[in-house]
Amino acid sequence: MAGLLLGAALGLGLNLIWRRLPTNRRHGLADRVLPYLVDQARPSGLLVNRRPLSHVPSVFVPLLASGGAVIDRVIGDGPTVRRRLLRAGQAPDVDRFRAQQVLCGTGGAILGIAMSVLATIHGASAFLAILLPVIGAALGVVVWDHVLSRRAAAREQRMLAEFPTIAEFLALAVGAGEGAVGALDRVCRLSGGELAGELRHCLADARAGATLPAALSGLADRTGLPALARFVDGLVVAIDRGTPLAEVLRAQAQDVREGGRRAVMETAGKKEIAMMVPVVFLVLPVTIVFAVFPGLNFLDFTF
């Protein structure tokens, strides 16, 4: 087993060296076209910083890039990953996320190799020893993707919890005579949290030259919450048609509170059903046994 691991490590190293030789390196379309599109001389490729992860040694960066490209070809779904990164509040860098998946897959493969060594010592089959690292690598990739989905969902739940307060604060500011941009500025200065950060992003886009409806539409595109999408649609319609904005904001906040109350009631109903499982399958049988067994013990069925 040790010889197999050493041979695999040697083969992987020789393969990495061979693939990264200048004569064997594949140049993409952008690398071939770029010299004809720029006016200044192109710097050396050795001086270009292409590191997807700043804390990873440079020698492993090409391997991470190749592994990320393989995962992207096998799994695909790059636009969905980009959208989930935006929903999680992270930079929409799909290549960086794929490199992180490669690291997690490598960690899972290392754990699988350790388990394979232990299984081989205890007399397990060679097929199991080969299968465990593959399963560990696949689980590492899938787990990191699941972590991203959980982060996005948790951030959206925090935004949904902050939404009624932010909406009522905006309604108070608009009702006091401030415009939409001024109300957003006041809320962003006095509030904190995920939703306030997204509103700061919208305000920065509006001050950079975009219209306020377009900036708010970007908020709806970056998040996956229907409540925020309805909030943005209501704001855009109110701004375009001159509808009283304070009433729209208060109605939106009330709708979100009602939706949260319905969600709590649905969750409570599901928990109530889940709580009946131990009662029906554990407590009730034990109660029946305690009630019936003494009577059965005194009965004599012999004739």
State the Cα–Cα distance between residues 114 and 122, nearest whole angstrom.
13
- Over residues 70-80, mean pLDDT: 80
pLDDT in tens, 22-33: 666 666 676 667
pLDDT at 195: 86
- Over residues 11-17, mean pLDDT: 78
Lowest-confidence pick of 98-102, 238-242, 281-285: 238-242
Report the amino acid identity of residue 119: A
pLDDT in tens, 139-186: 999 999 999 999 998 998 888 888 888 888 888 888 888 877 788 888
State the Cα–Cα distance between residues 100 and 145, nearest whole angstrom.
10
Question: Minimal CA–CA distance to 136: which of 109, 155, 114?
Answer: 109
pLDDT over 70 (residue 288): yes
Average pLDDT of the chain, as a whole number:
79
Cα distances from 81 to residues 105, 144, 147, 199, 265, in angstroms, run 17, 12, 12, 23, 32
State the Cα–Cα distance between residues 266 and 256, nearest whole angstrom.
15
DSSP 274: H
Report the amino acid identity of residue 290: F
pLDDT tier for residue 47 given thresholds of 50, 70 and 90 = very low
- Over residues 232-243, mean pLDDT: 77
Choose the most confident range, by mean pLDDT, from 8-12, 143-147, 244-248, 278-282: 143-147
pLDDT in tens, 184-231: 888 888 888 888 888 888 888 888 888 888 888 888 778 878 888 888
Tokens describing residue 200: 């700061």
| Better-scored residue on pLDDT, 253 or 48 | 253
